[in-house]
Amino acid sequence: MTKQLFAPTRTAALERLQSFVPKAGAYASKRNYDISGHPHVSVLSPYIRHRVLTEVEVLQAVLGRYAPSTVEKYVQEVFWRTYWKGWLEMRPSVWSDYKQAVHSSWNDVQTQSGMRSEWEAACKGETGIDCFDHWAKELVQTGYLHNHARMWFASIWIFTLRLPWALGADFFLRHLLDGDPASNTLSWRWVGGLHTKGKTYLARPDNIAKYTEGRFRPTGLATHAEPLTGMPNPERSPLPEAGELITGARTGLLITEDDTSIGWIVDQVTPVATACLNASAHRSPLHVAPSVHSFTQDLISDGAARYSERIGTQAGFIDAEQLAQWANEQGLDQVVTSYVPVGPARDALKPAQRALSDKGITLTQLRRPYDTAAWPHATHGFFRFKDKIPSLLGRIRGVRLADSQT
Ligand SMILES: Cc1cc2nc3c(=O)[nH]c(=O)nc-3n(C[C@H](O)[C@H](O)[C@H](O)COP(=O)(O)OP(=O)(O)OC[C@H]3O[C@@H](n4cnc5c(N)ncnc54)[C@H](O)[C@@H]3O)c2cc1C
């Protein structure tokens, strides 16, 4: 049974942001502690993931209270998310290779009996490694894990239990309410040594004991983390062009899980009809937790409800295969949506985009200025990207909230 840590509304997200802001000054010194209730981190990721809150909004909130140097660490963590998004956007084959790896590892699990029981024990939290078992259960029950717990968990999965990394990433994606194709896939690759050549993350008992304040001190963990082989980083491809609105076109709006705050779109165009797409079931070929599906669904509905007077006739939720037919029935020339980044929603939309185009209807994906400014800098490692943070912050300082967020 999932314990509801995250109410699926913007109101709840704003309340959480407001309660975190006064604590942001202490984030740098305490953020690594994985303590019950997670008092030292913002616990905002399920909202940021679906853009109930945008990065700009969160950054402006902490920088409105503290000097940049005081909240530098927090700001950097938010930019880690941005970096991963941009990095994957320019290397989309990493996502398709990951999906392929899930399929082939899943085949192995089904055909190799020992492996099946080990995978099941890991997902059920029955490995006998107390901290790992605790985090497996916490993830399934709450849909959230602290960042340090995610790192330890992934490391133990890969180097101690020796299970395929892609199935670990898949387990996270099926249960995390913030499950994100970029942050999740790339963090798992990073732990396993696939992202930064030769660099892995080894979970150490002393580190776990220190940062769980003695709750756990596991024994029997791997003492060496040999980088995984295969799947080297591909060449970077150019960032896809963002769409441009066709003015005067009869326009429908599509709301997806990647951006549930549609104010910035309806400020630019008045849709005659709106449809919602929840592609969370596509996060995995296995069963995605019902809590993930319903959380995503509710956030999209909340986004639509906030603008109900400005979004025309509402079709409710449709499957991607129904999009072209819906658009045709509405007599649309254009379906506008917030840019859909690499991931399940884009996968679901690919055939739909072809079907739309066959009917002469354009799918226009508008990209937020923040993404357009930041993503191209994800060329190499995070440390090079980090150098761009001051200039990116300079750009968002003058951005009006009404344009950028809700
Ligand atoms: C193996 C692994 C898998 C992960 N999978 C996901 C995922 O599916 N979705 C996801 O949003 N994050 C993922 N992360 C990143 C990070 O663990 C979470 O974003 C963070 O723990 C969320 O908690 P918070 O909101 O309290 O974060 P805070 O520490 O309060 O940070 C504020 C915000 O910054 C961003 N952020 C913080 N740390 C990171 C990071 N290391 N990478 C990217 N963004 C970060 C998040 O949007 C977060 O909400 C993963 C990390 C690891 C090691």
Per-residue confidence (pLDDT) for residue 314, from 0 to 100: 85
Name which residue leads in pLDDT, 396 or 286. Answer: 286
Ligand 1 atom 50, closest CA: 184
Whether pLDDT at 399 is above 80: no
pLDDT digits (tens, 9 = 90+) for 25-46: 999 999 999 999 999 999 999 9
Whether pLDDT at 402 is above 60: no
Residue from 48, 183, 207 to probe ligand 1 pocket by mutation (most atoms less than 8 Å from CB): 183
Per-residue confidence (pLDDT) for residue 231, from 0 to 100: 73
pLDDT digits (tens, 9 = 90+) for 135-154: 999 999 999 999 999 999 99
Determine the average pLDDT of the residues in 268-277.
97
Per-residue confidence (pLDDT) for residue 113, from 0 to 100: 82
Instruction: Answer yes or no: is the C-beta of 44 below 6 A from any ligand 1 atom.
Output: yes
Domain topology for 10-89+373-404: 1.25.40
* CATH code that applies to domain 95-211: 1.10.579.10
Burial (CB count <10 Å: 0-12, 13-18, 19+), residue 373: middle
Instruction: Answer yes or no: is the C-beta of 42 below 6 A from any ligand 1 atom.
Output: yes
146 Cα nearest atom in ligand 1:
21
pLDDT digits (tens, 9 = 90+) for 63-113: 999 999 999 999 999 999 999 999 999 999 999 999 999 999 999 999 998
Q: What is the mean pLDDT of the chain?
A: 95
Ligand 1 atom 6, closest CA: 184
Ligand 1 atom 44, closest CA: 81
Distance (Å, whole) CA 199 – CA 192: 8
Determine the average pLDDT of the residues in 181-201.
96
Determine the average pLDDT of the residues in 381-399.
89
Per-residue confidence (pLDDT) for residue 398, from 0 to 100: 64
Whether pLDDT at 1 is above 60: no
Q: Under CATH, domain 251-366 is a member of which superfamily?
A: HUPs (3.40.50.620)
Instruction: Answer yes or no: is the C-beta of 41 below 6 A from any ligand 1 atom.
Output: yes
Q: How far is the CA of 321 from the centre of ligand 1 (A)?
A: 32
Q: How far is the CA of 327 from the centre of ligand 1 (A)?
A: 36
Instruction: Answer yes or no: is the C-beta of 183 below 6 A from any ligand 1 atom.
Output: yes
Residue 3 confidence class, pLDDT cut points 50, 70, 90? low
Instruction: Answer yes or no: is the C-beta of 151 below 6 A from any ligand 1 atom.
Output: yes
Instruction: Answer yes or no: is the C-beta of 48 below 6 A from any ligand 1 atom.
Output: yes
Ligand 1 atom 40, closest CA: 80
Instruction: Answer yes or no: is the C-beta of 147 below 6 A from any ligand 1 atom.
Output: yes
Domains 10-89+373-404 and 251-366 alike in fold: no
Domain residue spans in the chain?
Answer: 10-89+373-404, 95-211, 251-366
